[in-house]
């Protein structure tokens, strides 16, 4: 769908073209052609044709990938909308008995026949949702949201939002996000995943905008660990942080930044070295750590010998290590040094053989305090059998 609005386009603007998101990196002429072009870096790095250079080699902007840049005309893009515009479009009253459900979506097709489905209560649900002040959860994922709109409009209409999903929108900076969240005094859960947000220069000035935020989703943001720390400094009450599939390769100790953190999800980050994970070991309240698909090849707590209890991760009770490269049973022995580990997820690692039953017994024999293994309860008889057989 092609559309234009009166929203201003500037370098750094987020735009949409045929469902693909990108960031404007250049506005101007590209000789020998006439007129104004937008130089765009696409989130999907395979969508572009170049790295910000024209055919004659002139560089107009820089991209992270040699195939993520394009020049396009402004008339073909979908530009941003204000927050309340998108809320009205999704949650506003629709004047029909189907509550806004498209007629073509009210059929089930099977055996060559199309059968009408009665959507009971659709109109009633639509009416309930359109009372904006009663909404506790709002999802604008994948919309054209780019700005907060009129100052105070969000607070007047949506004062009770607790859970807000503004992932994969056209937001361009944390400054813009803060102008939205500062109007939501009860906001606890915030999802800004799949955006490209410019980092705050002075995070502490936004403390009031995220004063109640306890859960944050920052998945697929292209952030490093240091960049993530700049974001979370705005959220002193943060308890659950999801930063999957970013560019975290190394970690610096950050106890002061995470005084309340209980859950950390690092899935999909190419960390690989366990020594980096150990830098999280002194987080005072960390209870659950998710390290799926991080390319880890081994685990070691060198502060104590076999049979001892490590000082690291003192309150950690749940650990997920699916889809890594752990290939030795010594690493499993090391997990027994975690004094409070009761819940372990450990599928798709090279150390595991073809006999799932045997693998489970070996793990239970080595990690003696487990109560859950791969989401399955460890029964007392099962544990006794594992310890006798190994």
| Domain identity same for 297 and 264 | yes
| 278 within some domain | yes
pLDDT number for residue 94: 52
> Domain count of the chain?
3
Per-residue pLDDT tens over the stretch 178-199? 999 999 999 999 999 999 999 9
Q: What is the pTM of this model?
A: 0.86
Do 223 and 338 fall within a single domain?
Answer: yes
Structural domain ending residue among the three candidates 129, 152, 174 = 129
Q: Is a pLDDT exceeding 90 seen at residue 131?
A: no
Model confidence at 84, pLDDT cuts 50, 70, 90, reads very high
| C-alpha angle 98-102-103 in degrees, rounded to nearest 5 | 80
Dig out the tokens for 8 from the structure.
Answer: 């201003």
Domain shared by 107 and 254, yes or no: no
> Could you tell me the residue range of the domain that residue 120 belongs to?
94-129
> Distance between CA atoms of 255 and 280, rounded to whole angstroms?
8
From 129, 145, 173, the end of a domain falls on 129
- The answer to whether residues 71 and 174 belong to one domain is no
List the structure tokens of 249.
Answer: 């390769």
Residue showing tokens 């813009």: 176
Please tell me whether residues 227 and 299 are part of one structural domain. Answer: yes
Does one domain contain both 104 and 221? no
Is 49 contained in some domain?
yes
Number of neighbours of residue 219 by Cβ within 10 angstroms: 18
Sign (positive or negative) of CA dihedral 72, 76, 77, 79: positive
Residue 78 phi, psi (nearest 5): -100, 120
Q: Does residue 54 sit in the same domain as residue 98?
A: no
Q: Is residue 144 part of a domain?
A: no
**pLDDT, tens digit (0-9, with 9 covering 90-100), for 20-63:** 999 999 999 999 999 999 999 999 999 999 999 999 999 999 99
Tokens of 298: 């081994």
Are 69 and 103 part of one and the same domain?
no
Residue 270 included in any domain: yes
- Together in a domain, 254 and 336: yes
Residue 140 located in a structural domain: no
Closest among 21, 144, 36 to 81, alpha carbons compared: 144
383 burial type by CB count under 10 A (0-12 exposed, 13-18 middle, 19+ buried): middle
Locus of tokens 């994970």: 277
């Amino acid at each position: 769908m092609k559309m234009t609005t009166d929203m201003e386009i500037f370098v750094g603007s987020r735009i949409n073209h045929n469902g693909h998101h990108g960031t404007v990196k250049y506005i101007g002429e590209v000789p020998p052609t006439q007129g104004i072009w937008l130089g765009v870096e696409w989130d999907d790095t395979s969508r572009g044709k170049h790295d910000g250079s024209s055919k004659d080699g002139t560089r107009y902007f820089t991209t992270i990938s040699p195939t993520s840049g394009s020049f396009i005309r402004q008339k073909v893009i979908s530009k941003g909308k204000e927050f309340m515009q998108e809320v009205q479009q999704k949650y506003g009253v629709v004047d029909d008995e189907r509550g806004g459900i498209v007629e073509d979506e009210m059929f089930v097709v099977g055996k060559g026949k199309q059968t009408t489905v009665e959507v009971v209560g659709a109109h009633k649900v639509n009416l309930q949702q359109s009372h904006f002040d009663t909404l506790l959860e709002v999802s604008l994922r994948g919309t054209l949201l780019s700005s907060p709109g009129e100052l105070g409009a969000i607070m007047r209409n949506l004062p009770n939002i607790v859970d807000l999903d503004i992932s994969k929108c056209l937001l361009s900076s944390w400054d813009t996000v803060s102008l939205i969240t500062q109007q939501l005094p009860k906001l606890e859960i915030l999802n800004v995943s799949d955006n490209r947000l410019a980092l705050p220069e002075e995070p502490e000035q936004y403390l009031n905008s995220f004063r109640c935020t306890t859960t944050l989703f920052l998945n697929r943001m292209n952030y490093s660990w240091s960049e993530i720390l700049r974001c979370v400094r705005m959220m002193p009450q943060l308890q659950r942080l999801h930063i999957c599939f970013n560019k975290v390769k190394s970690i610096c100790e950050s106890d002061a930044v995470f005084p309340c953190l209980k859950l950390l999800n690092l899935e999909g980050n190419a960390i690989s070295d366990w020594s980096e994970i150990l830098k999280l070991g002194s987080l005072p309240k960390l209870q659950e750590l998710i390290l799926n698909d991080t390319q880890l090849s081994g685990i070691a707590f060198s502060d104590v010998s076999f049979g001892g209890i490590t000082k690291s991760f003192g309150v950690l009770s749940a650990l997920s290590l699916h889809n890594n490269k752990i290939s030795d049973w010594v690493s499993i022995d090391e997990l027994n040094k975690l004094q409070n580990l009761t819940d372990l997820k450990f599928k798709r690692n090279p150390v595991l053989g073809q006999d799932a039953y045997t693998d489970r017994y070996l793990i239970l024999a080595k990690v003696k305090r487990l109560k859950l293994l791969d989401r399955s309860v460890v029964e007392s008889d099962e544990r006794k059998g594992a310890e006798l057989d190994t």
